[in-house]
Amino acid sequence: MKKSTKLALLSAVLAFTAFSCSSDSDKPEDTTGGGTDTGKTKYIITATTGAAGIADYLLTADDVTTGSITTTGNGLEQDGTYRYYITAQNNFFSLLYGQGNPGAVTTYNLNAEGKLVKKSDFQAETVHVFAAVNKDILTIKVPRSGASIASMYKIDAEKSLITGEAQQDTKVLAKNGERAFFTWATQVGDKVYMPYMSIKGDGVDNFGTVNPDSTWVAVYNYPELKLEKVIKDNRTSYLGAYFTNGLFQDENGDAYGFSGAIATSNAVLTSTKPSAVVKIKKGTTEFDQSYFFNVQEKSGGYKISSTSYISKGKFLLLMYGNVGKNNGAVKMAIADVYNQTFTWVTNAPATLTSVTSRYNITSEDGNSAIVGINTPDGNWIYSINGSTAAATRGMKVEGGQITAIQKLKY
C-alpha cells in the first residue's frame, strides 16, 4: 500500500480505516444511507467474549445509564481477533487489525427504525493512524523498520472513496539519524497536526530511541498533505503513544498535547522529563512557552497512559498504576488544562481490569465521559463527570468485556 498505482484498488478496499474519534453528521437529512435523521441516538457497545478467533459483539441500546445487556443471543457477531473503531459521517467503522496484513473492514449504520445494519464489507491494509478530518478519514501506514516511507490516504467518509494520497520519508522528517513514527493525527483549524515519536527502527529495538526527551508535531496543510513545519520542544517527551492520540483541539481552537514521558531504549525507560501537558495557541505553530502543566508532579509521580477529551478543558486521563513507571493497573483522573488541576476519579471500582479510553464518547450535555469499565467482578458503563471527577455506574454488560462505546443518530 505504498505506490500511487494502487490508488484505484485502495478506493475500493481502504475506505474504512479509522479509529477513536467521532464526527456525527449535523445535517437534518442523513446522506450516508442511514435514513432520515429523527433526532434520536442509539449507543453501540462492543464486547468481546475472549473466544479464539472472535473479535467483538456489537450491541445497541437507547440508554446506557441503567439496566443491563448481554452478548448471549444478542448483537451482531464479528470475526477476527482484534478490532478498532470510529464513527464518521454517521457511519460506524469496524476494522480488523491484520498484524501487518490486510484485514476485514465492515461498515454499519442505523436504518429508519434504529436497527444497526451492515452497509459494506471489504478488505483493507492495516494502518496505524486513523482520524476524521473535515468529511474525510485520514489514514497513515507508518513503517517501524525497513522502508522509511509513510503512506497517507484521504478517504471520503460519505462516499467511501480515496480522493488523494501523499507520502512522507520518516527518516527525512526526523533529521536525527532515527525515523519519525506518527502516534496520531489531529485536525487543528484547517491543518493536520501529527505528533510523532523518534524511533530507532533498526529491527532489534524498533521503538527505542536515543532521543527520549523531545517533543515533535509535524504540521501538514490539507487537503494537499504537504509538510509545512515541525513544532519542537524539550520540556517533556513525545505526545501520545503507539495507537494513542496525544493531541486535542478544544472549543477555543487551542491544542493541548499530552505526554506520558515513557520513551525507552532496549526496553528500559529513559525519559528524564516529566509526564506533562503542553499547549499550542490557536493560529500559531509553536509551543506556548508560558504554559506547562506538570501532571506527574500534580499526581504524586504518576505518568499518563492515554487521554480522552470531555469538554471545556476537562480531560479524562488514564494513568499508569505504578509511580513513575509505564506499567501497572490503570487509574483514572480528571485534568483541567485551563486551571492546571488534577483530581483522581472517585466512586469507581477499586480494581480496574481495563477502561475503554480510546473508544469513548461524551455525554449529551457535554459534561461527562461515557466509558466502559471492566473489573474482576463485572463490566459496566460508567459516566465520569468532568467537573466533580465522580463516577456513576450505569448499564451492566454481561457475557463479555467492553471494548468500545460509540453512538449514531437516526
Locate cell 468481546: which residue? 48
- Stretch 117-142: mean pLDDT: 84
Residue 54 has what pLDDT? 67
Strands 247-249 and 227-233: unpaired
pTM: 0.88
- How would residue 4 be classed by pLDDT, with cut points 50, 70 and 90? very low
CA-wise closest residue to 257 among 304, 323, 321: 304
pLDDT one-digit tens code per residue, 200-242? 998 899 999 999 999 999 999 999 999 999 999 999 999 999 9
CA-wise closest residue to 24 among 3, 45, 42: 42
Distance CA 119, CA 107 (A): 5
Strand partners, 333: 317, 344
CA-wise closest residue to 238 among 210, 274, 272, 196: 196
Q: Report helix, strand and coil shares of the chain as percent, to nearest 5.
A: 5, 50, 45
**CA distances for 15 relative to 55, 125, 253, angstroms:** 20, 10, 28
Q: Phi, psi at residue 357, to the nearest 5°?
A: -65, -35
Strands 255-259 and 276-280: antiparallel
Distance CA 34, CA 45 (A): 18
pLDDT one-digit tens code per residue, 180-189? 999 999 999 9
Could you state, in order of their start, the residue ranges of all structural domains in the chain?
129-309
Distance CA 131, CA 219 (A): 15
Distance CA 313, CA 258 (A): 13
Percent of the chain past pLDDT 90, that is, above it, reads 70
pLDDT one-digit tens code per residue, 259-299? 999 999 999 999 999 999 999 999 999 999 999 999 999 99
pLDDT one-digit tens code per residue, 8-57? 333 333 333 333 333 333 333 333 344 445 688 999 999 998 776 566 89
Locate cell 477529551: which residue? 309
Distance CA 197, CA 181 (A): 5
Asked which of 20-24, 139-143, 341-345 is least confident by mean pLDDT, the reply is 20-24
- Indicate the residue type of 263: A
pLDDT at position 3 over 70: no
Strands 103-110 and 116-124: antiparallel
Residue 29 has what pLDDT? 33
Cβ-contact 192, 138 below 8 angstroms: yes
